[in-house]
Structure 1
Amino acid sequence: MHHVVFIVYPGFELLDVSGPASVFNGANRALRQRGQPAAYKVVLASAEGGGVESNAGVTLETRPIGALHPGEAQTVLVVGAEREPLLQAMANPVLRAALPRLTAQAERFGSVCSGGFVLAALGLFDGHRIATHWEACKPFAAAFPKVTVDPDALYVVEGRLWTSAGVTTGIDMALAMVARDIGAAIAGEVAGRLVLYARRPGSQSQFSPILRAQVRADSPFADLIGWMQAHLDAALDVPSLAARAGMTERTFHRKFVAATGETPARFVETSRLDAARLLLSRGLSLKSVAAQVGLFPPARLAEAFERRFGIAPRLFRDMHAEL
């Protein structure tokens, strides 16, 4: 039984715990349906133990972190919070004393969302590349110059160290753990039961192109952008998009830039490359990916992919494809 220990403290982000914990529970359920024993036990720990209230007002019962034995902490994850609760956790003497011991003995350790601040304050991230919530990237880099912050990744894996970006990306990271521990089939089944849109690789951007557009309130192109995402293999040039939007090309270009912050050409390429990364992570051929995302022939995909990400798509697929 693999023990996954979540380290919480007053004011912690509830979804940082409940999301990944649901993944591990889902893996146990899938295994039991196959007549196999459960693989995970979720443990909640805090400095003093007892009830700890989350940011949502929900209180979780925890064990004292000092009472955990090495065999009860194969995976140790510190969860995130807003600024004030996080600062208090970083200064907590019990956590500061216990976390170096626990993480040293764990098979893997890391953080969900801004929980990485707690570990970084102890020097446990020095020399490593990590992920954290997009709002925290700049302050994290400024506070811990020995740590390389990846502002784009959903989660980053470096040996025993696992770190995820904002909130729901803890689910993506937990699925990746399940895939590595048990297999992609179980991870895929869990993702389906949680009604996730897709199992996202860690290299996927924190902000998809469509989410960036949706963040901008009252975008007049919301319907068009949704159509574009579903028809990446179609002609998505300015004349075609302007006609679909019922505008002149000049008006369309001006209003699209104002609404999304990007030119139509840049937005389309970003959408296509974002989709290409997801498809490549599933092990699809370059020819198939190029056709599906509208960057055919494969040489066109390769040129755009390498220009944007600094790595050839074939190498990216070999590095990230699910087994």
Structure 2
Amino acid sequence: MAGNARPRVVVIVVFDGVKLLDAAGPAEVFAEANRFGAQYLIRIASLDGCEVTTSIGTKFPVTERISDINDVDTVLVAGGDNLVGRPIDPALVSALRQVPGRTRRLASICTGAFILAEAGLLKGRRATTHWRHARLLGRAYPDTIVEPDAIFVEDADIYTSAGVSAGIDLALAMVERDHGADLVREVARSLVVYLKRAGGQSQFSTLVEVEASEPSALRRVIDAVAADPAADHSVKSLAAVASLSTRQLTRLFQAELGTTPARYVERVRTDVARAALDAGHSVGESARLAGFGSAETLRRVFVSQLGVAPKAYRDRFRTSAPN
């Protein structure tokens, strides 16, 4: 950007209980970009223009009210634990509802997506949030198309990102849109972060989350798979456990879990393999323990489900403690 060009104003919206990294992470990306020729002016806004208390108990300075936002380049709405499973401050929602017409692009970090959704700004749009809360976002706002595995989602002029550090990924993507690959590559190198993270949120999440009532045919099947993931769990054998026909079992899985018996078993085995890799087992040993049969089969499943190869996953999540 030329030296006399107008700075791009980035406003980060915060509130009491805001996750500190949700605000500080993206801010550091834009600030670092300024060292390499960008011109971002970073402001912090709250509902009343007063400082807020962050998730770690520290005070976070604020420069303006949300109502002061006008004709800015980017607005980022940070997240916080208090936004999930409880009512969101109506005044905060109302203030954010007025923002889209005052900015070129609007984004949320982590659970900040719940504020945008409550304000009606994600209606009919694709969006994401922290993997732990993606299912709740979809249930609470069925008119939002939730993509639970995405690190961030861009839908026209509204962006949403996954949990916490994904705000850094989103900010890097925005800098790349604004200034190109060469500049953002320097920013990523300077901050010692990946320019583009391999894989999606699945590599961090729990793939299998079951809410089956007890006792039930489905619970019997789930317990059988959990007890011995490497055993023969064909649809026919699982149907016998449930005392159902294969067709009935398939319908039950689809109705209750939104998947097929075979895909469910594959997810369980993938979680078992991840645990084995976390414990230091080789890819081959992990494949055997999980019931995949071969390292190549495990590799194909990992790449398909997690977007990353087993060895890369093991290296990424291996403990930092000395052997």
Worse overlay, 163-172 or 57-66 = 57-66
Identify the match of residue 206 of structure 1 among 201, 204, 211.
201
Measure the CA separation in 1 of the matches of 2:105 and 2:300. Answer: 37
Shift of 1:214: 9.7
Identify the match of residue 97 of structure 1 among 94, 98, 104.
94
Match runs of 1:136-155 below 5 Å: 136-155=133-152
Say if 2:275 is the partner of 1:269: no
SS in 1 for 2:76: strand
Q: Which residue number corresponds to residue 108 of structure 1?
A: 105
- Which residues of structure 1 form unaligned runs of 5+? 32-37, 229-240, 243-251, 279-292, 294-323
Shift of 1:91: 2.2
Q: Which residue number corresponds to residue 168 of structure 1?
A: 165
Identify the match of residue 289 of structure 2 among 244, 255, 258.
255
Question: Using a 3 Å threshold, how does the CA distance of structure 1 residues 254 and 216 change in structure 2: closer, same or farther?
Answer: closer
Q: Deviations over 1:244-302 (max 9, x none)?
A: xxxxxxxx655245xxx998544311444589889xxxxxxxxxxxxxx9xxxxxxxxx
Measure the CA separation in 2 of the matches of 1:5 and 1:262. Answer: 52
SS in 1 for 2:135: helix
SS in 2 for 1:74: strand
Measure the CA separation in 2 of the matches of 1:210 and 1:137. Answer: 11
SS in 2 for 1:77: strand
Measure the CA separation in 2 of the matches of 1:219 and 1:145. Answer: 36
Measure the CA separation in 2 of the matches of 1:171 and 1:267. Answer: 30
Q: Which residue number corresponds to residue 83 of structure 1?
A: 82
Say if 2:26 is the partner of 1:7: no
Contact 2:26–2:167, Cα closer than 8 Å, also in 1: yes
Contact 1:12–1:85, Cα closer than 8 Å, also in 2: no
Aligned AA (1:155): F
Match runs of 1:62-81 below 5 Å: 62-71=62-71, 73-81=72-80
Question: Using a 3 Å threshold, how does the CA distance of structure 1 residues 267 and 138 change in structure 2: closer, same or farther?
Answer: same
Q: Deviations over 1:211-252 (max 9, x none)?
A: 988999974664455xx6xxxxxxxxxxxx35xxxxxxxxx6
SS in 2 for 1:9: coil
SS in 2 for 1:3: strand
Q: Deviations over 1:37-87 (max 9, x none)?
A: x4211111111122211001221111342452413x321111111136884
Aligned AA (1:267): L
Q: Which residue number corresponds to residue 227 of structure 2?
A: none
Question: Using a 3 Å threshold, how does the CA distance of structure 1 residues 277 and 187 change in structure 2: closer, same or farther?
Answer: farther
Report the TM-score, using the length of structure 1 for normalisation: 0.65
Q: Deviations over 1:122-149 (max 9, x none)?
A: 1110000001110111111111011000
- Which residues of structure 2 form unaligned runs of 5+? 1-6, 208-269, 313-323
Q: Deviations over 1:94-120 (max 9, x none)?
A: x23321222222100020001011111
Contact 1:86–1:115, Cα closer than 8 Å, also in 2: no
Q: Count matched residues.
A: 242
Match runs of 1:1-323 below 5 Å: 1-31=7-37, 38-71=38-71, 73-83=72-82, 87=86, 90-93=88-91, 95-200=92-197, 204-208=199-203, 219=276, 222-224=279-281, 241-242=284-285, 253-257=287-291, 264-272=295-303
Q: Which residue number corresponds to residue 219 of structure 2?
A: none
Report the TM-score, using the length of structure 2 for normalisation: 0.65
Question: Using a 3 Å threshold, how does the CA distance of structure 1 residues 65 and 276 change in structure 2: closer, same or farther?
Answer: same
